[in-house]
Amino acid sequence: MDWPNVSSRSSSLTVGEQICAVFVPFFVIIDVLFSTFGQCFDCRRRSPSPQTCQHPDLTRLAHESQFSVNEVEALYELFKKLSCSIIDDGLIHKEELRLALFQAPNLFLDRVFDLFDEKKNGVIEFEEFIHALSVFHPSAPIEEKIDFAFRLYDLRQTGFIEREEVHQMVAAILKESDMMLSDEHLTMIIDKTFADADSDRDGKISKEEWRVYVLKHPSLLKNMTLPYLKDVTTAFPSFIFNTEVED
């Protein structure tokens, strides 16, 4: 993946833009993940998977998400592509996600997997897949996007974003990407971020502080919206097929 070269253009960025440059790369990987489903896996037809998605499930998941029934059905085809890449059991295992995101840092991969794995049972089921992707739909409420982004950075799941967590996440991205950012510059950006976001000066960012901060810097959520999710069947025409379910 070609990450933006922060060092080469840092002089032309405002402090706010530099702050956004720290957070945005994590959300870009979600975009890569979804694109990967559509083109990178070619599973041969085998016996039916133990996990099947019946029409009542499609209808229920459509009601629980921003997708239409036909779009949920198309996404199920995408899901099956990934879930059979190593173990053909109708579930996405972490190693299968790692295969799809082979350039993603392990720390970030773990966080994405944990957020998709709602039941915390070590695999991603189809309904969890739909629920997570729905957050990136253009019509998804901004509060859902803000909450997802907050949980991404709350590594220890304490209900706060801490300075060490942000530094750890960003350092992991920089280490395994082409982005160039000195430790001094990174520290400066993180210091500025906490100076702006940590309103009560307790050294950590609460969910409400994060909400206020993101609303002041809406570009932080730019990659929390994937435009082509608005019409999956058009974005991925190869997955359109006849359905007995009407939207």
Residue-wise pLDDT for 107-156, tens only, equals 778 888 999 999 999 999 999 999 999 998 999 999 999 999 899 888 88
Q: Are 28 and 105 in contact (CB under 8 A)?
A: no
- Residue 179's pLDDT is 64
CA distances to 7, 18, 127, 134, 161 from 181, in Å: 5, 11, 38, 33, 21
Residue 48 clears pLDDT 60, i.e. is over it = no
Choose between 205 and 239: higher pLDDT: 205
Tell me the torsion sign for CA atoms 215, 132, 120, 85.
Answer: negative
Q: Where residue 67 falls among pLDDT bands split at 50, 70, 90? A: very high
Task: For the beta carbon of residue 180, count every other beta carbon within 10 angstroms.
Answer: 14
- 3-7, 99-103, 116-120, 173-177: which has the minimum mean pLDDT? 3-7
Residue-wise pLDDT for 174-220, tens only, equals 676 666 677 888 888 888 889 989 999 999 999 999 999 989 888 87
